[in-house]
Amino acid sequence: MFEQIKSYVDAAVDFGLKLEADYVIARGIDRTTNQIRFSQNKIDINKEWQIHLLELFTVVDGSKIAVGEFSPTSEENVRKRVEAQIKFAKKMAPSPQFQSIEKQISKYSQIDGLYDPKIVDYREKAPEVINASIQEAQSAGAKRVAGSFFFRDNYFYLNSSSGPKGEFSTSFYNLTVRAFQEELDASGQGLACGTIPSSAEKKILNASKKAGHYSKLHLGAKQAKPGIFDIIMAPAVAANLLGNIPEMANPLLIMMGMSALGDKMGEQMGPEFLSITDNGLLTDGLGSSPFDFEGTPRKNTPIIDKGVLINYIHNTSTSALVQSETTGNSELYDFGIGTKFLTPIGTNVVFNNGDRSFEELLEGSGKPTVFVLCNWYTRFTSRISTEYSTIPRDAAFLVENGELGQPVKNFRISDNLLRQFANIDAMGNDRTQIKWWEVEFPTWIPTIRVKDCRITTATQ
| Residue 138 beta carbon to other proteins: minimum distance, rounded to whole angstroms | 13
Nearest approach, Cβ of residue 33 and other proteins (Å): 9
CA distance 193 to 26: 29
Pair 55, 72: CB distance under 8 Å: no
Q: Under the criterion CB under 8 A, does residue 320 sit at the interface with other proteins?
A: no
Q: How far apart are CA 307 and CA 140, in angstroms?
A: 39
66 binds other proteins (CB under 8 A): yes
Please tell me what DSSP assigns to residue 198.
G
Interatomic CA distance for residues 107 and 289, integer angstroms: 13
* Residue 203 binds other proteins, judged by CB under 8 A: no
Whose Cβ is closer to other proteins: residue 92's or residue 308's?
92
Query: According to CB under 8 A, which one of 83, 185, 363, 425 is a site residue for other proteins?
Result: 185
**Can you tell me the distance from the alpha carbon of 443 to that of 237, in angstroms, rounded to the nearest whole number?**
11
**Angle made by CA atoms 438, 444, 450, in degrees to the nearest 5:** 75
Nearer to other proteins, 50 or 323 (CB): 50
Among 9, 12, 25, 36, binds other proteins (CB under 8 A): 36
In this complex, which beta carbon is closest to other proteins, that of residue 188 or of residue 246? 188
Distance CA 138, CA 46 (A): 21
Binding of other proteins by 100 (CB under 8 A): no
Query: Helices (DSSP H) in 325-410: which residue ranges?
Result: 358-363
- Residue 222 is inside which H or E element, if any? strand 222-223
- Write down the least CB distance from residue 306 to other proteins, Å: 28
Q: How far is it, in rounded angstroms, from Cα 350 to Cα 434?
A: 10
Among 42, 118, 225, 367, binds other proteins (CB under 8 A): 42
Should residue 135 be labelled a site residue for other proteins when binding is judged by CB under 8 A?
no
Touching other proteins, residues 322-361 (CB under 8 A): 335-342
Q: Could you say whether residue 50 binds other proteins (CB under 8 A)? A: yes
Of the pair 149, 351, the CB lying nearest other proteins is at 149
Site residues (CB under 8 A) for other proteins, limited to 406-425: 410, 412, 414
Report the amino acid identity of residue 454.
R
Under rule CB under 8 A, residue 172 binds other proteins: no
Which residue, 150 or 351, has its beta carbon nearer to other proteins? Answer: 150
Q: How far is the CB of 187 from other proteins (least distance, A)?
A: 8
Does the footprint of other proteins cover residue 255 (CB under 8 A)? yes
* From 17, 79, 83, 92, residue interacting with other proteins (rule: CB under 8 A): 92
Let me know if 264 is exposed, middle or buried by CB neighbors in 10 A (0-12, 13-18, 19+).
middle
**248 neighbors 258 (Cβ within 8 angstroms):** yes
Site for other proteins in 358-397 (CB under 8 A): 376-385, 387-391, 393
Query: Cβ atoms within 10 A of the Cβ of 368, count?
Result: 15
CA distance 300 to 196: 22
User: Does the footprint of other proteins cover residue 163 (CB under 8 A)?
Assistant: no
